[in-house]
Structure formats: C-alpha cells, structure tokens
C-alpha cells in the first residue's frame, strides 16, 4: 500500500447531483422538480408550518404556561456542593466566586441533595426544610 494508490472504498462516495444538464443525465429539462405547481417554480415555497390556508397546528392548540421573568435571576444550590467549599460562612458572593451560580443570579436557595458533615453558616440564602434540618444537624445555622 502506498499513499498514491489510496482510494475510498467502492460505493462510499457519490457524485454530486447535476440537474438540468440534458436528457441523458436523467435529471434534465425539469431537473427532478416535476411539471408545474408551486414547488417547481424558482423561489416557490411556503414557510415552515404553513398548511395551505388551514389553521396551522401551532394555532389550533391552546396557549399554555408562561415565560418566567425571574428564572435567570434565581438559582438552586445542592447541599452536597456546599460541603466542597473551603469557607464556613456562605453567602451569594461566595457561591458566585465558586462558580456554583451564575453572575446574574440575585437569590439562591439550598436544596437537600447530597450530604453535609461540616458546620456552615448561610447568610442571605434560602433553604428548603430538608436542607435546613441537615445543616442544623451538622452544627450549622441559617442567618
């Protein structure tokens, strides 16, 4: 085997489809578009979701839910993630510096996921009832 003899496996490569280049090509004259109609014309197509004048599916279905305006400003933090922090007093700034919450976050809540065995104090953070109990059981507190 030599570099100048390398060829792709038979059938692995296909020639590009050249349309409108004569009868012998099999794709001449109408170029595989058939006869007449919107889809045969240049630039003739409809937008995605258009159903020929019938009420489209996205308008037939009822509206549901809403987009929360506070979603990007609130965050959840797992209890197990707090155990890995090197400080005993944890506030929002500490969480941002550790990369546990995003820069835009204005309020965070600790949820019971994982375990904590060291004493920590939460300042200005919310906590679920389970997380609060686990923190207090480890000797910590919420301020």
- Predicted confidence at residue 143, as pLDDT, reads 82
Q: Which residue segment(s) compose the domain that 21 sits in?
A: 17-45
**Same-domain status, 75 and 138:** yes
Q: What span, in angstroms and rounded, lies between the C-alpha atoms of 140 and 132?
A: 9
Q: Read off the pTM.
A: 0.59
pLDDT tens track for 56-94:
999 999 999 999 999 999 999 999 999 889 999 999 999
Into how many domains does the chain fold?
Answer: 2
- Predicted confidence at residue 45, as pLDDT, reads 86
> Is 126 exposed, middle or buried (CB count within 10 Å of its CB: 0-12, 13-18, 19+)?
middle
The sheet that has 126-127: what strands, in order across it? 74-78, 107-111, 126-127
Q: State CA 53 to chain mean position distance.
A: 33
- Predicted confidence at residue 46, as pLDDT, reads 85
**Same-domain status, 94 and 35:** no
- Predicted confidence at residue 32, as pLDDT, reads 94
């Amino acid at each position: 085997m030599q570099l100048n003899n390398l060829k792709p496996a038979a059938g692995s490569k296909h020639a590009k489809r050249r349309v409108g280049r004569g009868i012998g090509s099999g794709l001449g004259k109408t170029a595989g578009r058939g006869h007449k109609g919107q889809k045969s014309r240049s630039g003739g197509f409809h937008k995605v979701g258009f159903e020929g004048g019938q009420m489209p599916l996205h308008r037939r279905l009822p509206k549901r839910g809403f987009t929360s305006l506070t979603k990007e400003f609130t965050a959840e933090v797992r209890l197990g993630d707090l155990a890995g922090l090197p400080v005993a007093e944890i506030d929002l700034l500490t969480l941002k510096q550790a990369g546990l919450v995003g820069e835009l976050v204005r309020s965070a809540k600790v949820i019971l996921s994982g375990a904590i065995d060291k004493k920590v104090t939460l300042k200005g953070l919310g906590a679920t009832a389970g997380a609060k109990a686990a923190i207090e059981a480890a000797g910590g507190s919420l301020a």
